[in-house]
Amino acid sequence: MAKKQALGRGLSALLENAQTVAKTAEVKPEVVVTEKGNKEVGNVAGPISVLSISQIEANPFQPRQDFNPDALIELAQSIRELGLIQPITVRKISAQKYQIISGERRFRAAQMAELEEVPVYIRTANDQAMLEMALVENIQRENLNSLEVAISYKRLMEECNLTTEKLAERVGKDRTTVTNYVRLLKLPPEIQVGIIEKKISMGHARALINAEPEAKQLKIYRLILEKDLSVRKVEELVKEDDVPRLFKSNKVILPIEFQKMQADLRLKFGKKAKLQRSEHGIGKIELPFATDDDLQRIVDMLEL
Supply the residues annotated as catalytic. 104
Q: In whole angstroms, what is the distance from residue 104 CA to residue 17 CA?
A: 26
Checking phi first, is residue 183 left (phi over 0); if not, alpha (psi -120 to 50) or beta? alpha
**Residue type, position 79, single letter:** I
User: Which residues partner with 91 through β-bridges?
Assistant: 99, 123
What are φ and ψ of residue 120, in 5° steps?
-140, 155
Q: In whole angstroms, what is the distance from residue 276 CA to residue 294 CA?
A: 22
Q: In whole angstroms, what is the distance from residue 103 CA to residue 97 CA?
A: 16
* Closest CA relative to residue 269, chosen from 288, 290, 291, 283: 288
* Closest CA relative to residue 144, chosen from 255, 53, 252, 14: 14
Strand pairing category for 88-94 and 117-123? parallel
Rg (CA), the chain: 20
Following DSSP, what letter does each residue of 34-49 receive, concatenated?
ETTEE-EEEETTEEEE
Q: Both ends of the chain: CA-CA distance in Å?
A: 22
Checking phi first, is residue 115 left (phi over 0); if not, alpha (psi -120 to 50) or beta? beta
Q: In whole angstroms, what is the distance from residue 90 CA to residue 101 CA?
A: 5
